[in-house]
Amino acid sequence: MGEGAIRVSLRRGAPGGVEPAGDDALVVEEPLEIRLDGRPLAVLMRTPGRDLDLVAGFLATEGVIDGLDDLAGLAPCADPARPNAQNVVLATLASGVRAAPARFERARREMFAASSCGLCGKASIDRVFQHAPPLEAPFVLEPAFVCALPGRLRATQRLFDATGGLHGAALFTREGALIEAAEDVGRHNAVDKVIGARLRADAFPLDDHALVVSSRAGFEVVQKALVARVGAVVAVGAASSLADQLARAAGLSLYSFVRGDRFNFHG
């Protein structure tokens, strides 16, 4: 089935009891360790595949790098003696960036703070604005275009068809061209994969693009879109209160609960 899914034997329950049901497909979830200049930076739980895109997008949306020029190297671990080397990616910063160790420490500190308690909404938004200022102009989409985007994303989700267990993300131009799509067990990872693919293609930042996600629109999805300078986020699910606050403060068009010919517009 490829590296993103496996087949396992299952039993299914019903009012009459539990019976063998044969094989079923499950999405693969494994840890990915990111090492930056030889030091451990983060561990992500992800669906294997497109790991380099994932790491490039993660480094960009977390503020470790500003663009492709900040990276001197990005490669899977090739050390045969290292356990689980297939789950390690090695990133090397360009010399000028490496000379500023504050970037590494800032990234570690901000990632810790994002997963801890005690930050209010204003503090979280102010921290995002330190390296991703508000957008200069609104990016408003036609209602019919908004309503068509979830179906176009869904058509790209091959592994979801097999497993029912992945999130999807896609980038579209203002004219409606599909530029990039990705799937992952983590919704943030799917976003980072599509952003990272464009960064590695030296097509970053992503002005005049819309990001479509099959999940809810949480704060981190909107944050990643803003860092990449994406002007609009379209989500199949609901938006959180902090995502709404960030989108309004940043001038980013946020569309949530896009179902059929209806949606919520946060703006």
Contacts of 116 (CB under 8 A, 6+ apart): none
Residue 117 designated active-site: yes
Do residues 26 and 160 touch, judged by C-beta distance below 8 A?
A: no
From the number of C-beta atoms within 10 Å of its C-beta (0-12, 13-18, 19+), residue 227 rates as buried
How many whole angstroms separate alpha carbon 196 and alpha carbon 32? 15
Do residues 52 and 59 touch, judged by C-beta distance below 8 A?
A: no
How many whole angstroms separate alpha carbon 169 and alpha carbon 212? 6
Q: 189: left (phi > 0), else alpha (psi -120 to 50), else beta? A: alpha
Residue 246 CA: distances (Å) to CA of 126, 129, 219, 240? 9, 10, 7, 10
Q: 20: left (phi > 0), else alpha (psi -120 to 50), else beta? A: beta
In order, the DSSP letters of 44-93 are EEE-SS-HHHHHHHHHHHTTS-SSGGGEEEEEE---TTSTTGGGEEEEEE
| Nearest Cα to Cα of residue 142 among 232, 221, 250, 235 | 232
Catalytic residue among 77, 117, 120, 147: 117
How many whole angstroms separate alpha carbon 249 and alpha carbon 243? 10
Catalytic residues: 117
